């Protein structure tokens, strides 16, 4: 199986596969593999594209959306994130003023000038 951009690596899949419910399908139409569905969900979330723009090789966009929505209502994503958060390095998410840049429009303004926002203007 060729791994595409945004898809889970084998070791990433092994970490979350046990946290997901088993595929439920019917004999006439078996359910798609959870890994394929998760990769489809990741593609949509990482690209910011609408569900309807999901590439055909991931299957039906409606199937991916339905499973994503069902898992979300069941709290499965919350449990997955809780397990993955145990391994997160909290220092990596710390925002420090020494690394945050000021927007170009916010620098160089004089402070305490005669005209301030919201102040009445003399005629």
Q: What is the spatial distance between Cα 62 and Cα 65, in angstroms, rounded to a whole number?
A: 5
The tens digit of pLDDT for each residue in 63-82 reads 999 999 999 999 999 999 88
What lies within 8 Å, CB to CB, of 7 at 6+ separation is: 39, 42, 43
3-state secondary structure of 96: coil
If you ran DSSP here, which 8-state letter would residue 15 be given?
Answer: H
Q: Is the pLDDT of residue 89 over 60?
A: yes
pTM: 0.66
Q: Is the pLDDT of residue 48 over 80?
A: yes
Distance CA 37, CA 17 (A): 12
Q: What token pair was written down for 51?
A: 């569900």
Q: What angle do CA 37, 42, 45 make, to 5 degrees?
A: 130
pLDDT band at 42 (very low <50, low <70, confident <90, very high): very high
């Amino acid at each position: 199986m060729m791994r595409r951009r945004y898809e889970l690596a084998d070791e990433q899949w092994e970490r979350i596969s046990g946290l997901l419910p088993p595929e439920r399908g019917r004999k006439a139409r078996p359910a798609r593999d959870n890994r394929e569905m998760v990769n489809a969900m990741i593609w949509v979330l990482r690209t910011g594209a609408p569900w309807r723009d999901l590439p055909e090789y991931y299957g039906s966009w409606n199937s991916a959306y339905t499973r994503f929505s069902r898992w979300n209502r069941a709290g499965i994503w919350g449990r997955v994130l809780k397990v993955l958060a145990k391994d997160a390095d909290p220092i990596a998410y710390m925002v420090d003023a020494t690394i945050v840049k000021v927007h170009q429009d916010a620098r160089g303004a004089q402070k305490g000038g005669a005209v301030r926002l919201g102040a009445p203007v003399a005629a």
